[in-house]
Structure 1
Amino acid sequence: MRRSKADAEITRCAILNAAADLFAKQGISRTRLDDIASAAGVTRGAIYWHFSDKESLIVAMINRVNAPTEAAMAALNTKESDTLSLDTLKQVVVDAFSRTYHTPAAAQITRFVLRYSLSNETELLNAHIEHNRKVSFAHINQFIEKAQNAGLVTPELPPECIASHIRSHIIGLFHQHLSSPPPGISPDDVAASMDLVLKGLRPAPK
């Protein structure tokens, strides 16, 4: 009997959830596809039906976590100048953090990405993480350019410099939360921290 698309998606999610848990606990090199299949309750063949190899599975894990934030950042940059607000950028960051804060699987995958982003574990993985870094930086940079044109952000610094500062701060918040004893920092803490950063970027009063 042929499986429905819904059944296939359930299996795919089970594989990704199992992989996220095992990779976070024991690392990439020590986790076999057989381990993932056993934890997910599927066959090794089912994994290969969805993913060509372990690296493509890792990329899918990262994409699943990044997708909501990526969509929100893209939507952020479609706003007209007269509706632009620094609070909208803050909300995108807080929403992304909240998904990590409230969803254990998202926290595991985010921790995994932070842990392996500089490890040179695999060429494909490093290339994908670098691609995501460039995309997120481009979104923030575009937003800052529009905010400067709208008079919301100081024009005294290049947008690339400001975007780099904001992105580094965001990564630092996630790292602090995931490396701290539970419960770590809260979404309210992140909102307050982003308020401080964005307040410092506003133009000086004339």
Structure 2
Amino acid sequence: MQDATIQEEMTFESDAASQLLGKQLPSFTATATNNFDIDFTRLQGYQTVVFFYPQSGLPGVTQIAKDFAEHYASFKQIKTCVFGVSLESLETSQAFKDQLELPFQLIADTDSELAQWFNTLTERTIFGDPIKTLEQSTFLINAEGVISDVWRNPEVRGHVEDVIEAAHRLSEGLSDDTSAPVTTAEDIEADKPVLEESEAHTELKADLADLFEA
């Protein structure tokens, strides 16, 4: 009976993920660390990775955040923003960012607006009380603001590398069954400029320069 329940939950999660693929991201403005207000509509023209996590400090959460930080230069190289999202307060999010010295911003989704739209909001029972939490999930959004890839409850090991590969494929316009040359953090010179000059992105670039270097 328990196996059947688990299978039903997995099927539901898979269906939920499929329903988001190809959907246009609505207009969201979210409060983030380092006093940033993230306006998702202004990120169009750049790819975006959004990873949801249930609680800062958990071993798996910490490792994934560290992996995103370690490979952050790879995302910058292909003009891809990275954000972490939790239901925790801005103060808690800032402390987690500072503790791990994360080079990207963490969004404090205290009203669960993002979590509800991305269908990552779930409930766990702790000491008999239902507690709102988030399902560990990662989303890749293309330059037009459309959901391109979804990872639900990913394995920690190798997850960020999978996201990098998908982001490379997306930036090169390749299909899922085509291998993309993946540039890792070790391949990128520390002082190499990563934001391409573009008249269409002049105003946006100023905003993202701050985000990328925060």
Q: Please, what TM-score do these two structures have when normalized by structure 1? A: 0.26
* Larger relative contact order, structure 1 or 2 (CA cutoff 8 Å, min sep 6): 2
